[in-house]
Amino acid sequence: MHIMLLLNLELLIMDFKHFISTKTKLPYQEFEKCLATEQNEEIHIINGIPRFVDADNYTAAFGLQWNMFSQTQFDSFTKQPISENRLEIALGQPLETIKGLKVLEAGSGAGRFTEVLLKYGAEVYSFDLSDAVEANYENNMPHQNLTLFQGDIMDIHFQDDFFDISLCLGVLQHTPSSVDSIRELTRVLKKGGKLVFDHYKFHPGHYLSLYLLYWFFIERLKTQNQLKVTDFLTKIFFPVHWYFKDNRLMQFLLRRISPIAFYYGMFDLSKEQHYEFSRLDTHDKNTDHFKRHLTERGLEKKIRRFEFQKYEINHRGNGLECIAIK
């Protein structure tokens, strides 16, 4: 009974009235277990979350990942402002200034940035293509400023010119098309609104290491087997990285042959926390179905297809970070 009451409370809190059908442009009306338009276009509500996509899609590995490592990257869990600092730098403005703004968060994962956005008073509409939205739900609901849904970045169920900020960190390189994703994120953004995203950067080192070779084989495994393999690789390689953690030359050489992510020196974490970060990101970088790397010139060429008032590209974060004003 308590769980049902909580689900009903969260349904009342979430803002479903602004969802529209992207086919007919009709608004959805809320019913007990679904959203539906006047033309009987139905969207199921499962575990309190509207599902605009089929559960079976190419992001299954990410869904498993974020439900397993559901709090690993959360500032409230690490007790370090890692997500907060990254978000503020990416936005290019003090976090205090987002209070009351409508923010679309595309590709939320387990909700590490959702937590920060809510902390600073933004009205957050957060989604993921995978069932990672369920981890986000567990981590951040109930909250009066949060609406969650499972959806596709290239088919966002909101009207044009709705959001003040479209935020997309750690996602575009994993979508079928960076350009089509940017186009849809821009469509739902208000005139004068801010688009914030990052993208993997091309680096010759990717082709001078075993990085892509590991990915080529691991990505083709079944989802459950992928996690077993990446956990095994982390168990083998992490102690080696840790032993040579203060030796820059050895770290450089290890990155040529090691398949794992290793962040010593970047974050003020315990050895145990570093190990969990390595488990998480080793799985992340070896199981993505789509993987693209762009040069700054290549990204700028794509951005110029859109009539942004202005934009800037910076080398930081996952590689390249962009802020564009519609």
**Predicted local distance difference test score (pLDDT) of residue 5:** 44
Are the beta carbons of 218 and 226 closer than 8 angstroms? yes
Number of helices and strands (H, E) in the chain? 12, 11
Which letter, b or e, does each residue of 12-29 get, where b requires 16 or more Cβ atoms within 10 Å of its Cβ?
A: eebebeebbbbeeeeebe
Which letter, b or e, does each residue of 239-252 get, where b requires 16 or more Cβ atoms within 10 Å of its Cβ?
A: eebeebeeeeeebe
Contacts of 257 (CB under 8 A, 6+ apart): 209, 210
Residue from 275, 258, 164 nearest 209 by CA: 258
Average pLDDT (17-21) is: 97
pLDDT at 211 over 90: no
The chain-wide mean pLDDT, for the chain, equals 94
pLDDT at 8 over 90: no
The identity of residue 133, as a single letter, is V
- 258-292: per-residue pLDDT in tens? 999 999 999 999 999 999 999 999 999 999 999 99
Domains in the chain: ranges and CATH = 57-201+296-325 (3.40.50.150), 204-287 (no CATH)
